[in-house]
Amino acid sequence: MIRPLWLQGVLVVALVVLVPSPLQIFSSGELLSEARGTTNRSLLPSHLSQPSSCSCPLKPLLQVYIPQEQQQEVEQRRAQEYEEYKLRNPFRQPRLQYALANSPLQYPIQGYTVRPLTPTLIPDLRLFAEQRSSYKVSLKVSRGFLTSRLKSSATVKGGGTNEMTIESSSLETLNDQLENLMYKSSDYHINSKDLVNFRFEDHEAFFSISIKQPKVPILWDMGKDINSQVTITMKTFMRYQKVRLLLDSIRKYYPRIPIIIADDSMEPEAITGENVEHHIMPPEKGWFAGRNLAISQVTTKYFLWVDDDFLFSERTKIEKFVEVMEANPELDLVGGAVVGRRYFFTVNYQEGNETEGGCMHTHFGKSYHSLPGYPQCALVNGITNFFLGRTDAIRRVRFDPKLQRVAHHEIFTDGLGTLMVATCNDPASMFVLHQSHKGNGKEYNKFRYVKHRDFDYRFSIYYFKNHLKCVHL
């Protein structure tokens, strides 16, 4: 008689002290106690530590930027909002899973995905067992129904419900029935999960089902040249002389590339030219609101963000930015150098506990590792204001319009874990000049130099929106 693989593992246990296998998976949390109570072979840890408070050495807690008379109310609203966030993102932290000893149950470990409300075969379900007079397995789900497309001599109970048992005197018949078992979710949801409990005698296993609505592709027509691939975007405020110098420098090297300008000046002046869009905003609407407006009007796959006081030169080659992005499709932003200086940083984010919130520490001039094929480029978490971005990626994260004058890191904070960012040190092509700070004018300088209350407001946003305890910038 040919012994099943799981039995052969038992027979050689005297020679192999530990025979780990991914065939039986248990998750932490609510499943841990169930797993421990249903099998004597489980050696799962009896305790998993809860998230601890993160540290904020030498930095004030963000809570101090909330007016004292408002702190209690703000804390309550913050806690409630965080609970709702966790409900909307239930799988933000994947369950910790453990592989136990070999099991007679075969099932998909991961990757089983179904459409909402669509009956779908469960692949690779099978039982391996020695000769018995009868074989019986049970399966249970919580967010759907189990059915079978096969009618056989096996006894099937619970078809069309969330719990099914299959019994037969023939192992082959039972396995045929398992191979035709189907799952259908009970509710429509675009991205959720279910957990299957699969049992045979004292053997029990769990595996997950991903329930996802497929997304419709959104493709960008790159066209044939840089003019159909990239739009140059900028935000300006009361610096028309500098904007016009920048436009002249752009047109010297890119005569037809589209340009979008968002302008919240107190007394707007006309900015005209071929392929130039000048969008007038309400006065003093702010830095991030202007960036959102400009990017909202982009119709190309990429946009190049520039400050209104930059200058293009023969070393400003947008094509090189596009080359790097096209060669690394997972990248969302790639930055260059301004007057030979690269501003970039990495972030160490600790989630902390759920009451106090997390801690965020910024490390300037630090990077992770280089991009494949581009040793002059490295992955980071934040870059300077001279960068090429994927239009759809930035629109998903967006710039917070509450931030009017004191803002830069915030788009990278909001995009941490969502945006892939790189910086490149290529002075021959990914380089831009900067105009002198002279000539801004007294009226402009009144708005440029911010007051302490602007910083306090910025930190209060970190405290509530990003659920942070402290920030080191």
Residues of the chain with CATH 3.90.550.10: 229-472
Distance of CA 446 to the CA centre of its chain: 38
Residue with the two structure tokens 């050696």: 43
What CATH number should be reported for the domain whose range is 102-212?
2.60.40
Output the pLDDT for position 248: 97
What backbone torsions phi and psi does residue 323 show, to the nearest 5 degrees?
-60, -45
Place of tokens 């900067």: 434
Tens digit of each residue's pLDDT, the chain (473 residues): 444 444 444 333 333 333 333 333 434 333 333 333 343 444 444 444 556 788 887 778 888 888 989 989 988 888 888 887 787 666 554 555 555 557 899 999 888 999 999 999 999 999 999 999 999 999 999 999 999 988 889 999 999 999 999 999 999 999 999 999 999 999 999 999 999 999 999 999 999 999 999 988 888 888 889 999 999 999 999 899 999 999 999 999 999 999 999 999 999 999 999 999 999 999 999 889 999 999 999 999 999 999 999 999 999 999 999 999 999 999 999 999 999 888 999 999 999 999 999 999 999 999 999 999 999 999 999 999 999 999 999 999 998 888 887 778 899 999 999 999 999 999 999 999 999 877 666 666 556 665 666 778 889 999 999 999 999 88
| Domain range 229-472, CATH class | alpha beta
- Looking at beta carbons, which pairs linking 373-377 to residues 24 or more positions away fall under 8 Å? 373/327, 374/324, 374/327, 374/328, 374/424, 376/424, 376/425, 376/426, 377/324, 377/334, 377/422, 377/423, 377/424, 377/425, 377/426
CB neighbours of residue 73 within 10 Å: 10
Contacts of 80 (CB under 8 A, 6+ apart): none
Instruction: Report pTM.
Output: 0.80
Q: Where in the chain is the domain with CATH 2.60.40?
A: 102-212
